[in-house]
């Protein structure tokens, strides 16, 4: 059967679709690059905000319009939380929550599979950077978040399984591995610990010791999961100098109402220690504005703290009311226009911080892993990333896909920098 896979939202959703693509191909299905070619479409939804849920519905309607004859299977967090809202959408044949998602390849195995797997491999979905899911679920209960309900309790993948998957991806040519999950900093805690059940940092050490991975990147890490003692891990240059540490608010009063487990002072000390230990570290973060009860003074405090921290990148989210969370029942819900205005103000500060971070690299030569290109007025313009998450664009007539080269950074441009490819590339 010809199957099209798509997802919305986090890197974990993308990783799950990559894994499903490989499993379906082994079962004899053909993973196709567009919905127009498909007999069946699988869409992995997101529900982290009401906007994400809305975008999930829109994407499903668009898939049906593009190919009305294709059957639709809906999975993911939105499917877990509100299956009844999805079952009546046009073309939807099956709604499978997050637990059923793990069995989709088995459920579809007998539905039109070829007796012999197709010669064409599954559609490459992350040629340079491969996402490896090391755990699922979350045992935290931040008052604004519904994901611990949608994903369930913390569950870690066995370390041998993680290593085997990484070895396979490296053999297939991937140059960067990204460890992802809902709460990767809690890796191993559900398995009891010990030599056979390492924590995240023991897993990282094992990956670096037992594989020849060119780059290893961590996805989001909660601040309380990054003890200063582990900062020495970045002495291995293959571990990317990039930490995504969700802040959520720069006001201690708001952090307490969110049930976050740190103060702004503790967060700032951690970031300072990390920057001292890891030269040129990129620290990125998430910030929510307009949380219930957020006063003008608390928002101003949060804005000032974000400005002070000089983040490399800030993802700004207006608070999204999620039914079933404690925050949904809190008094003093902030009106949407106020949330929108605060988001604009926070994004202005975030953009200035990002420019400041990028500007310090102008004139320096860096190593870039090139990903893709687009047509330019002359040579194609390639786009790639440094290990510390600088987006670099440079013109070159060569095919640089999935290659490392040096590049001299010439100017800040948009969300990254323009560069010149080094000699001998």
pLDDT at 425: 58
- Are residues 125 and 14 in contact, defined by beta-carbon separation less than 8 angstroms? yes
- pLDDT one-digit tens code per residue, 170-203: 999 999 999 999 999 999 998 775 555 689 999 9
115 belongs to a structural domain: no
Q: Are residues 163 and 91 in the same domain?
A: no
Q: Does 73 lie in the same domain as 96?
A: yes
Distances (CA, A) of 195 to 184, 202, 376: 18, 9, 52
User: Is 121 domain-assigned?
Assistant: no
Q: Give the Cα separation of 131 and 366 in Å (integer).
A: 23
* CATH (domain of 98): 3.40.50.12160
The pLDDT of residue 122 is 43
pLDDT of residue 48: 85
Q: Are 268 and 226 in contact (CB under 8 A)?
A: no
Gap between the Cα atoms of 170 and 176, Å rounded: 8
SS3 401: coil
CB burial class (10 A; 0-12, 13-18, 19+) of residue 389?
buried
Q: Are residues 101 and 202 in the same domain?
A: no
Query: Tokens 């101003």 identify what position?
Result: 300
CATH assignment at residue 273? 3.30.750.200
Domain span at 353: 255-360
Q: Let me know: does 44 contact 17? Beta carbons within 8 Å.
A: yes
Question: What is the model's pLDDT at position 358?
Answer: 98
Q: Read off φ and ψ for residue 73, nearest 5 degrees.
A: -115, 125
Per-residue pLDDT, 194: 53
3-state DSSP assignment of residue 241: coil
Q: Are 296 and 258 in contact (CB under 8 A)?
A: no
Count the helices and strands in the chain (H runs, E runs). 13, 18
Render pLDDT for 40-59 as a digit per residue (tens, 0 to 9). 999 999 988 888 889 999 99
Examine residue 245 and state whether it is found in any structural domain, yes or no. no
Closest Cα partner for 389 from 253, 218, 261? 218
For the beta carbon of residue 7, count every other beta carbon within 10 angstroms.
24
Q: Which run of H or E residues covers position 405?
A: strand 404-413
Q: Provide the greatest CA pair distance for the chain.
A: 66
Total domains in the fold of the chain: 4
Residue 277 host element (H or E): helix 264-277
Closest CA to 18 of 184, 130, 185: 130
Domain finish residue from 360, 389, 410: 360
- Given 171, 206, 240, which residue is the final one in a domain? 240
Same domain? For 131 and 226 the reply is yes
Q: Are residues 32 and 57 part of one domain?
A: yes
- 157: domain CATH number? 3.30.750.210
Q: Is 346 in the same domain as 387?
A: no
Same domain, 263 and 332: yes
The β-bridge relationship of strands 365-374 and 313-318 is: unpaired
Q: Are residues 10 and 100 in the same domain?
A: yes
- Please state whether 290 falls in left (phi above 0), alpha (psi between -120 and 50) or beta: left
Looking at the structure, tell me whether residues 353 and 371 fall in a common domain: no
Q: 110: which residues sit within 8 A by CB, 6+ positions away? A: none
- Mean pLDDT of successive 10-residue stretches along the chain, which has 425 residues: 90 87 86 92 90 92 94 92 91 89 77 45 58 93 90 92 95 94 93 70 97 97 95 97 98 98 98 98 98 98 98 97 93 97 98 97 97 89 97 95 96 96 68
Domain identity same for 329 and 343: yes
How far apart CA 117 and CA 399 sit, in angstroms, is: 30
The rounded distance, in Å, linking the Cα atoms of 31 and 24 is: 7
């Amino acid at each position: 059967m010809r199957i099209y896979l798509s997802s919305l939202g986090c890197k974990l959703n993308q990783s799950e679709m990559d894994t499903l693509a490989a499993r379906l191909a082994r079962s004899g299905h053909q993973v196709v690059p567009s919905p127009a070619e498909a007999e069946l479409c699988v869409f992995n939804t997101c529900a982290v905000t009401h906007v994400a849920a809305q975008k999930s519905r829109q994407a499903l309607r668009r898939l049906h319009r593009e190919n009305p004859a294709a059957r639709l299977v809906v999975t993911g967090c939105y499917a877990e939380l509100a299956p009844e809202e999805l079952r009546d959408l046009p073309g939807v044949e099956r709604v499978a929550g997050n637990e059923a998602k793990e069995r989709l390849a088995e459920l579809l195995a007998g539905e039109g599979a070829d007796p012999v797997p197709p010669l064409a491999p599954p559609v490459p979905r992350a040629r340079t950077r491969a996402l490896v899911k090391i755990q699922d679920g979350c045992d935290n209960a931040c008052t604004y978040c519904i994901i611990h309900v949608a994903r369930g309790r913390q569950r870690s993948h066995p370390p041998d399984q993680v290593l085997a998957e990484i070895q396979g991806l490296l053999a297939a040519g991937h140059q960067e591995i990204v460890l992802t999950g809902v709460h990767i900093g809690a890796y191993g805690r559900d398995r009891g610990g010990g030599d056979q059940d390492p924590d995240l940092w023991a897993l990282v050490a094992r990956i670096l010791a037992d594989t020849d991975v060119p780059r290893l990147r961590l996805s989001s890490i909660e601040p309380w999961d990054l003890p200063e003692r582990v900062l020495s891990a970045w002495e291995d240059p293959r571990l990317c100098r990039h930490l995504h540490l969700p802040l959520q608010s720069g006001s201690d009063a708001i952090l307490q109402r969110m049930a976050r487990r740190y103060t702004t002072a503790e967060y700032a000390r951690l970031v300072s220690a990390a920057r001292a230990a890891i030269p040129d570290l990129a620290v990125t973060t998430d910030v929510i504005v307009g949380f219930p009860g957020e006063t003008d003074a608390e928002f101003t405090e949060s804005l000032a703290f974000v400005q002070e921290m000089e983040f490399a990148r800030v993802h700004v989210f207006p608070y999204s009311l999620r039914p079933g969370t404690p925050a949904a029942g809190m008094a003093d819900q902030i009106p949407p226009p106020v949330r929108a205005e605060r988001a604009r103000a926070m994004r202005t500060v975030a953009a200035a911080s990002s420019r400041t971070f990028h500007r310090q690299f102008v004139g320096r030569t860096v190593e870039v892993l090139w990903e893709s290109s687009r047509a330019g007025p002359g040579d194609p313009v390639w786009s790639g990333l440094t290990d510390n998450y600088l987006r670099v664009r440079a013109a070159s007539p060569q095919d640089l896909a999935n290659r490392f080269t040096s590049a001299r950074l010439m100017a800040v441009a948009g969300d990254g920098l323009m560069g010149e490819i080094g000699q001998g590339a």
